[in-house]
A and B are shown apart, each in its own frame.
Chain A
């Protein structure tokens, strides 16, 4: 019986860890996304983000209640006007409170994402733009168990952006192949749509003009073990010519998680971007 509990506990912890590294995977624009970021040729955007996630609803006898503190640093560099390189480094801290057995508390560095984005479509009009890009790359293992998949996991996808001064929308779809298998999780399909619109516009602070935007996102995730989540992310973006400060919260709308995965209660998000 003790052996069964140990095996179940280990499986549950590994499954939990992999799913909740998923936000570290680079995807499109908005609070939970990076891929629509487009610096100019030779330009660089750095984004640091802190995410605090609470999970519960353990389907196993372990009675897990978990918090995950995820800190990411993303660097986006424009090699040309149409080709961008993106890289994300995730640092994970987690606490798992167990009803059976010893609680788990650990930190580590999850797998690093490295992507290339090529813009194949651009249609500009006065004050408007429509852009489409394809994305390809991989998550590279850090071998920091249990936060690493220990495998090179390819990622492919696409991102579209429509922008005008009164609002803009970003849409992306990404597929990650998990070549590690086993405890490392399943292939993941995710799709995100983010809509942003100005609440207050163009007041001056020093040499910069600032605007306050509201953002609303829907984030969907599907794993090939049948797990599925639909999450809503409302938030605020304080935007200047070189800065964006972002605050938000991610809440579940629908969840159907395959055992032993936990369900998300909520995620709080704080993010800072700077372009130079």
Chain B
């Protein structure tokens, strides 16, 4: 087995630690009525039918883009159904077009957006 220089090992370790460190970043949890700082959610979520999702890695792409939309409290992706179930804020919920654009930005194709 080769010995690498300390510099090489350090760079590799920093990259690996950066990856591990990033795992502490949590996606937003689903809001509860008891969370004082969380806006109240609409009772019925939006459901987006999405084509092209075919691998587990796809989930993160779509979820990330939807949860960055203002007025989206939480997004749950069902790979088998090809759907995103999106919990919306009662105050200033996004429009269907905004949700559709978020899915397009993730690299997939929204075919239907059912708003509450």
Contacts and interface: CB of A to CB of B under 8 A. Distances in A.
A165 B22 contact: no
A164 B106 CA distance: 17
A18 interface: no
B26 A207 contact: yes
A94 B4 CA distance: 8
A129 interface: yes
B36 interface: no
B22 A127 contact: no
Contacts of B63: 241
| Tier of interface size on chain B | 35 or more
A165 B7 CA distance: 41
B23 A242 contact: yes
A73 B59 contact: no
Contacts of B16: 48, 272
Interface stretch (B37-45, B46-54, B89-97): B46-54
Contacts of A73: 11-12, 15
B54 A274 contact: no
B57 A94 contact: no
Interface in B43-89: 49, 51-57, 59-65, 79-80, 82
B82 A126 contact: yes
Contacts of B54: 127-129, 163-165, 168
B98 to A, nearest CB: 14
A97 to B, nearest CB: 12
A241 B59 contact: yes
A38 B11 contact: no
A73 B106 CA distance: 24
A82 B107 CA distance: 7
A68 B8 CA distance: 13
A40 to B, nearest CB: 4
B65 A71 contact: no
B1 A43 contact: no
Contacts of A248: none
20 contacts: A38-B107, A40-B106, A48-B19, A52-B1, A67-B1, A69-B4, A73-B12, A73-B15, A91-B8, A107-B7, A122-B107, A125-B51, A126-B51, A127-B53, A129-B53, A165-B55, A242-B60, A274-B19, A274-B23, A276-B25
Given A40-B64, A41-B105, 16 more contacts: A43-B61, A48-B19, A50-B12, A67-B1, A68-B2, A69-B2, A73-B15, A80-B105, A89-B11, A164-B54, A209-B59, A241-B60, A243-B23, A244-B57, A272-B19, A276-B22
